[in-house]
Amino acid sequence: MFTEFLVILLSVFIILNIVFCFVVVFFERKNPAVTWAWLMVLTFLPVIGFIVYLIFGFDGKKSYKFIRKAKNDDILFELYDKQIKKYENNINDFTDAQKSIVNLNKCSSNSMLYCDNSVKMFHEGKSKFKSMLEDIKNAKSYIHMEYYIIRNDTLGETIINALAEKAAAGVEVKFLVDGIGNMLNSKKLYQPLIKAGGKVEIFLPPYFFRINYRDHRKICVIDGKYGYIGGLNIGNEYLGIVKRFNFWRDTHLRIEGSCLKELELRFIADWNFASKNVIKPDIKYFPDIKFKGDKKIQIVSSGPDSHYDSIRHCYFKMMTYAKKSIYVQTPYFVPNDSILEALRTSALSGVDVRIMIPNNPDHPFVYWASLSYLGELLNAGVKCYKYKNGFIHSKVVTIDSEICSVGTANMDIRSFSLNFEVNAFIFDNQLSEELNKEFYNDLKYCDEILYDEYKKRSNIVKIKESFSRLISPML
């Protein structure tokens, strides 16, 4: 009897595997590389692969849910367009590359160009959070924050308590956090803020431990006057005081300028998706302020709720227009074919292409996959580096010292297609040069990956790279 039961059970699993393979191929309509990766997992790991697919791969109601969000976002943006002052800036003095990218962003994500911004850059966490806490302290009307991660630690409690103090004083405080990024947080972390009258919402709660479609954005807008965007989440590790990583190298922006209207619109759209307590159209979120800056910025969002992979398209366009240099800093380098070809073609045509990743990875499979892709680029003349002074988490791209991008999107497939991301694309020589200067400073703490040495790597390393690259579309 027991043997017959095992045979029946095995038959059921085989049938389920066939069914799920059928679903992956014919109904999910994934990228072919992703499809083959999942078929391999489902075929060779019948039970474990089934569970892993449910957690990481199954789309479920993704299409309906995010198509509906995209339509609602379009309605919201059109509604606000009638109320807030947007203006078309003259780009006659722009280079051809700059004009092309501005037009691309406008067409693919309806991102306006604003030319009156001031920008302060932070290259580590302590100064960024000191500045943000000061701006929170001075808030008069509202504070809107959206973060992938807030840790239940000293910094997390400090931020929540500062927000609670403002909420108790009558300032509107809304905090949107991602479901998976904050899955382990106790509700006690948010209680001081909620008791003071602030609002906290969860973006896509982690039902069935779904990993995909995470809100990876980091947004803070205060009174329509000050805004923050970049790579830093909220937690002690981002201050560089956690032993595992020690120094945490990141890039974040503090912006004063009209481009904050786009950042605020993004927050409102995401909040209204996550909350039943929607934010209704109100001009108070877009005060008419005369900003005195001269930095030209577009705020570009992309994700499952966008019509195009706008950030990936802009990265690609930047790389194909580069004539002198392309510098990339990213914690995860798992590019799709178009980005890989753009980097390789640029390097072969004489452009100085340099890519920096961490030496101390937080995701081993992604690290080995990254080395595989970098190894492929080395032969084309791309210079690749591993950062050793702690952990580098910056998401920065610069080309020709005239265009740069700072935001939340990594140079990987997950950021391009699966996560909700937001970047600031800046058309300014001074800020691009500042980022290039920091890149060169970081090189002091890097080991260059030399092609001759890379070819001598052990068979074990080759196996790790090959396996990680094979499953990289799923990472």
Known catalytic residue: 62? no
Known catalytic residue: 400? yes
Catalytic residue among 296, 393, 428, 442: 393
For residue 293 the two structure tokens come to: 């800056």
In three state form, how does the secondary structure of the chain look?
CHHHHHHHHHHHHHHHHHHHHHHHHHHCCCCHHHHHHHHHHHHHCHHHHHHHHHHHHCCCCHHHHHHHHHHHHHHHHHHHHCCCCCCCCCCCCCCHHHHHHHHHHHHHHCCCCEEEEEEEEECCHHHHHHHHHHHHHCCCCEEEEEECCECCCHHHHHHHHHHHHHHHCCCEEEEEEECCCCCCCCHHHCHHHHHCCCEEEEECCCHHHCCCCCECCCEEEECCCEEEEECCCECHHHHCCCCCCCCEECCEEEEECCCHHHHHHHHHHHHHHHCCCCCCCCHHHCCCCCCCCCEEEEEEEECCCCCCCHHHHHHHHHHHHCCCEEEEECCCEECCHHHHHHHHHHHHCCCEEEEEEECCCCCHHHHHHHHHHHHHHHCCCCEEEEECCCEECCCEEEECCCEEEEECCCEEHHHHHHCEEEEEEEECHHHHHHHHHHHHHHHHHEEEECHHHHCCCCHHHHHHHHHHHHCHHHC
Which residue in 376, 423, 361, 360 sits closest to 396, CA to CA?
423
Known catalytic residue: 395? yes
Catalytic residue among 123, 218, 295, 317: 218
Catalytic residue among 73, 215, 223, 428: 223
Known catalytic residue: 218? yes
Which residue in 69, 73, 60, 74 sits closest to 23, CA to CA?
60
Catalytic residue among 400, 412, 428, 442: 400
Catalytic residue among 395, 412, 428, 442: 395
Q: Which amino acid is at 234?
A: I
For the stretch 395-428, what's the b/e string if a residue is b when 16 or more beta carbons lie within 10 angstroms of its beta carbon?
bbbbbbbbbbbbbbbbbbbbbbbbbbbbbbbbbb
Asked if 420 and 270 touch (Cβ cutoff 8 Å), the reply is yes
Known catalytic residue: 393? yes
Q: What positions carry a catalytic annotation?
A: 216, 218, 223, 393, 395, 400
